[in-house]
Amino acid sequence: MQQVSEELIIKGLSGSEGIAIGSTFVVDLSRRSVAPKIINSLQIRSNVKRFQKAKILFLDEIEELSKNLDKATREIFEAQKHIVSDVEIDEKVLHLIETEKFSVDYAIFETFGGFIERLRESGSEIFQQRIVDLENLRNRLIDLSCENEDQKKIPKNSILIVKEISPTDLVNFHELGIKALVMEKGGVTSHASIIAQSLEIPCVVSAKNVLHSSRTGTPAVVDGTSGSIVINPSDQTLSEYKQRIKARTKQKKARQQVHEESVTKDGVEFHLRANVEFIQELELVKKNRAEGVGLLRTEALLYGGFEKRSEEAQIEFYDKILKELKGPVTIRLFDVGGDKLNIHNQDEDNPFLGWRGIRMLLDEKQILENQLRSVLKVSGKYKERIQILVPMITDVREVVEVKQVLKEIKEELRENEIPFDDHIRVGVMVEVPSVALLASQFAKEVDFFSIGTNDLTQYTLAVDRGNERICELYQHNHPAVWQLIHQTIYAGNNNKVPVAVCGELAGDIIGASALIGMGVTDLSMSVHSIPRIKQHLRSHTLDKFRLLAQKILVSSSAEEVKAEFKALFPDYS
């Protein structure tokens, strides 16, 4: 382990806002691979009993931890209860113990490994984040089945540093008084992030090499707002962060401003919507007064097999979202590749550039038709509230083909006298440079554009943001990305096609400021970004945002973009 004596800043992603100063407590909660172990016939009964006891202990543990927690966290635990109680998992574990005569720990490890491996092979960032949840659930069951309880002691007000963490461990550590959480893995939509937000724990996720760079008892600062951790902070850094903590008390007005009108200082209206993946997020969406859902990710419906992506399951999911929330809901079609559906047993060298999104859907028409039919059926109940968003578009012909499939399904529903919104709007994700460059041509075929800045940045800069050796090159404020965004907005305006942004750039202060300045007033973001973005946009005039946009469009580097922002908004910290 690297011995740190000088100030070290490790960048990650914001999992939950807030600032904490304290001492680190490093815990390696990861588990080594469990080797196959054969048991004899006399040991089968005891191994089965240990598995059954582990399930009961886990469910009891979940029940106890769920007390006094908010609805979002309780529903995450409820989902874990369903996984542990799943009949398929039960049958697989018992088969491995009773027929194959494997030990209970390996039986659990192998059973969950099958699900995990399918997700690991996928190119979906969202599914990659679910791996952490399944691994931790698996590990907890193994611990309980082996009665390996390893009671962890941690000083109060510590900054917990882990590779990854399960929901149960996080709540347990919270009850022991941790001050902040830093994860080497995980993403902004991971369950750990959602729970940290609910518990109001500052959290940084995807902090590469933080375990290697840390040791227990080292002074540190966690900046959950910028997504960074400072190890061994200098006196000057500590002083600056102490001032920022004081300033955050004043910034609590941002929470109060979520109830205020969404207008700039000079009265220009804007709309802040939420990126949503799980039902568990809805309470926070309502709490932060999001104006609908600008990006409803639907990939989670695919996890668990065909019955989970059936029309009935989809309709139930969409109906729940629309019934619970007010405002428009933009439903993105499945943005996945074939591997995670086990449609074809083929490997892809680069899934991000492979058979994914609309490419897969147009090949697997039944999946596309089922989803479009489900969306249309729900639209009959919520007319003029639903939009369809098509992912990974690169060619105008793909749009035309999707619209043709949609037309055929409309005719089918009409013949069967099933009501639907005949004027449902269809838009495309602008996440590939070819779409931005030909936005004027695409505008003739779509009802709206939604710019996905995460993939647009990745494809424009040829940077895999998951590659830690080059992740510093992933800069969503790079001028090249801004030029493509501006070109898309220009084409949208000329063709009277509305433009929204649903990538991380919308939830970034610099990004939101420049987007408003370029004329985009429909921004969708991680729900916990809404209060601070709203406060910032309400505090300044459109003219100031326009000036920033003008300066960005003649900048030559991401650093120059940040400098221009700082010059215009010197008081922002």
The C-alpha atoms of residue 280 and residue 62 are separated, in whole angstroms, by: 16
The C-alpha atoms of residue 293 and residue 276 are separated, in whole angstroms, by: 7
> Could you tell me the strand order of the sheet in which 19-26 lies?
8-11, 228-231, 219-223, 19-26, 159-162, 180-183, 203-205, 13-16
Give per-residue pLDDT as tens, 28-75: 765 556 888 899 999 999 999 999 999 998 888 788 777 666 666 777
Task: Quote the pLDDT of residue 151.
Answer: 45
The pLDDT mean for the chain works out to 86
Beta strands at 19-26 and 159-162: parallel, antiparallel or unpaired = parallel
The C-alpha atoms of residue 525 and residue 527 are separated, in whole angstroms, by: 6
Confidence of residue 540 (pLDDT cuts 50, 70, 90): very high
The C-alpha atoms of residue 276 and residue 520 are separated, in whole angstroms, by: 20
Neighbours of 283 (CB within 10 A): 18
Domains of the chain: 8-27+152-234 (3.50.30.10), 41-145 (1.10.274.10), 243-270+431-573 (3.20.20.60), 273-428 (3.20.20.60)
- Going from the C-alpha of 140 to that of each of 54, 135, 178, 481, the distances in angstroms are 9, 9, 20, 43
Cβ atoms 336, 124 nearer than 8 A:
yes
Whether pLDDT at 557 is above 70: yes
Task: Quote the pLDDT of residue 338.
Answer: 38
How many CA within 13 A on the CB side of residue 106? 14
Task: Quote the pLDDT of residue 340.
Answer: 40
Task: Quote the pLDDT of residue 467.
Answer: 59
pTM (two decimals)? 0.66
Cβ atoms 549, 520 nearer than 8 A:
no
The C-alpha atoms of residue 261 and residue 282 are separated, in whole angstroms, by: 21
Cβ atoms 164, 185 nearer than 8 A:
yes
Please name the residues in contact with 570: beta carbons below 8 A apart, sequence gap of 6 or more.
none
Whether pLDDT at 93 is above 80: yes
Task: Quote the pLDDT of residue 342.
Answer: 42
The C-alpha atoms of residue 449 and residue 198 are separated, in whole angstroms, by: 32
The C-alpha atoms of residue 199 and residue 195 are separated, in whole angstroms, by: 6
Confidence of residue 172 (pLDDT cuts 50, 70, 90): confident
Neighbours of 243 (CB within 10 A): 11
Per-residue pLDDT, averaged over 89-105, amounts to: 92
Whether pLDDT at 306 is above 50: no
191 is catalytic: yes
Beta strands at 219-223 and 228-231: parallel, antiparallel or unpaired = antiparallel
- Going from the C-alpha of 479 to that of each of 299, 499, 514, the distances in angstroms are 31, 19, 12
CA angle at residue 308 from 336 to 356, to 5 degrees? 10
Task: Look at the block and give the residue holding tokens 């999707």.
Answer: 402
DSSP label at residue 504 = G
| Nearest Cα to Cα of residue 118 among 357, 349, 339 | 339
Give per-residue pLDDT as tens, 361-412: 988 899 899 999 999 999 999 999 999 999 999 999 999 999 999 999 999 9
Burial class (CB in 10 A: 0-12, 13-18, 19+), 354: middle
The C-alpha atoms of residue 278 and residue 212 are separated, in whole angstroms, by: 33
Sign of the CA dihedral running 532, 535, 536, 542: positive
Buried b (16+ CB within 10 A) or exposed e, 368-383: bbbbbbbbbbbbebbe
Give per-residue pLDDT as tens, 439-487: 999 999 999 999 999 889 989 998 776 555 666 677 889 999 999 999 9
Per-residue pLDDT, averaged over 228-232, amounts to: 94
Sign of the CA dihedral running 494, 499, 504, 508: positive
In this predicted model, which residue has the larger pLDDT, 258 or 492?
492
212 is catalytic: no
Cβ atoms 161, 26 nearer than 8 A:
yes
Confidence of residue 345 (pLDDT cuts 50, 70, 90): very low
| Nearest Cα to Cα of residue 18 among 251, 208, 299 | 251
CA angle at residue 385 from 381 to 389, to 5 degrees? 115
- CA 59, 64, 68, 72: dihedral to nearest 10 degrees? -20
The C-alpha atoms of residue 489 and residue 268 are separated, in whole angstroms, by: 18
Q: Indicate the length of the chain as a whole number.
A: 573
Catalytic residue among 502, 528, 536, 540: 502
Give per-residue pLDDT as tens, 280-296: 788 889 989 999 999 99
Task: Quote the pLDDT of residue 122.
Answer: 57
Six-digit token pair at 5? 């004596």
Cβ atoms 158, 23 nearer than 8 A:
yes
| Nearest Cα to Cα of residue 453 among 478, 426, 425 | 478
Cβ atoms 228, 10 nearer than 8 A:
yes
Helix (H, G, I), strand (E, B) or coil at 25: strand
The C-alpha atoms of residue 191 and residue 202 are separated, in whole angstroms, by: 14
Task: Look at the block and give the residue holding tokens 């999911």.
Answer: 317
The C-alpha atoms of residue 280 and residue 296 are separated, in whole angstroms, by: 13
How many CA within 13 A on the CB side of residue 366? 4
In this predicted model, which residue has the larger pLDDT, 202 or 140?
202
